[in-house]
Amino acid sequence: METTSCFCVAAVVVFVFAVLWRLPGGGRGGRPAALGGVLVGASLYVTGPPAACGVVLLGCSFILMCATERSDELLPAQSRAVLVTGCDSGFGHALAKQLSQLGVKVFAGVLDVNGAGAQQLRQRGSDNLQVLQLDVTDGSQIETAHGHIRTQVAASGLWGLVNNAGVLLCPMDAELHPMAVYRRHMDVNFLSAVRMCQVFLPLLRRSRGRIVNVSSMAGEVPMPMFAAYGASKAALSVFSRVLRLELSSWGVSVALIQPAGFRTNIFGNSDDITRYRDEILAAVSSEAMEDYGKAYISSLPSSLSRMSRRSAEDLSPVVADMCHALLAARPRAVYTPGHLGWLLPFLHRCCPTAVFDAIIASFPKHADCEPAGLKRS
């Protein structure tokens, strides 16, 4: 009995070490894997026979440690070509720089080929980095980019497509979103990515390459004020998961990046905030105006500035996961970089609805005041 107890204690020690070893890879799913392992191990330790408990914990430890080693094995970067959309700023801009440094041939699609972001990329003077005019909602620009890239990659094909371009516009109550805002979100965040995949998949199949679609935590977790943005990202997430299953037989991998809050230009500037405020006030119905109040509605665009200040400045966790999805020997299906990036989806799946709703309700409010109708009631 004493030997069995010692064996079980030793197994617990090894398991705890394996969990701690796995945690640093949280951006690539290490934390969810570790958390799942903790739950399994704890339940076995409490309810199972000591010998069986020790064997299972050692097995879990081996799986966790081996999974970490496999996930960090990268393919050679040279002689691979990747197209990244939305490279004017933010994730796409940083990814284009990182990939070119690694030796990947990068086609950086930008909304404004004469803009500051495009000029910064060109000033790097890298032979591995080409800046392309690419509004992902413009079919003619997509076809022009496709023709150019096809001549560049020749028979080797395109290794990677990163659908990063996206818009957030203004968070607000679902009832207050003009229909044009819903359509804009779906057009940029979802339908453009579908179109890009359809156009470039023949080149991706030729190389048995990778598609990386940038979604959001809001695409999996219901977040107040993010009905339009979250719905478009949820559509992209489901599309990506279906595409992953369909393309596996072709040898093409599909990965989904679901970042939490990071500070990028998606939050807009002061001019954008003023424009959003004018557009909302012009489109809202008289009944909604009476119930919500002009003060509440006018305060909504200012939430973009607060969200930007609360977001993480360091984009490297997202860029690292994008690079991993493109170059890892065994890429993950889903990446969740950022604080709460894995925790909130986990709680949403596992908590009772009332508990999760209470968690979301505890988050800071987006507006400076309450709707006028709620104050009256």
Catalytic residue numbers, as ranges: 229
User: Which of 119, 211, 123, 113 is CA-nearest to residue 159?
Assistant: 211
**DSSP assignment of 148-186:** HHHHHHGGG---EEEE--------B-TTTS-HHHHHHHI
N residues, the chain: 377
Q: What is the DSSP string of 292-322?
A: H-HHHHHHGGGHHHHHHHHSBS--HHHHHHH
Distance CA 231, CA 7 (A): 50
CA atoms within 13 A on the CB side of 188: 20
Element housing 255 (H / E)? strand 253-257
Beta-bridge partners for 108: 84, 131
CA separation for the pair 243, 228 (Å, rounded) = 23
Residues β-bridged to residue 106: 82, 129
Instruction: Report which residue type is found at 192.
Output: S
Among 138, 81, 135, CA closest to 109:
135
Q: Distance (Å, rounded) from C-alpha 356 to C-alpha 214? A: 25
Query: Is 276 in contact with 170 (CB distance < 8 Å)?
Result: yes
Q: Within 13 Å, how many C-alpha atoms sit on residue 235's CB side?
A: 17
Residue located via tokens 């998606």: 266
Determine contact, residues 100/128, Cβ cutoff 8 Å.
Answer: yes
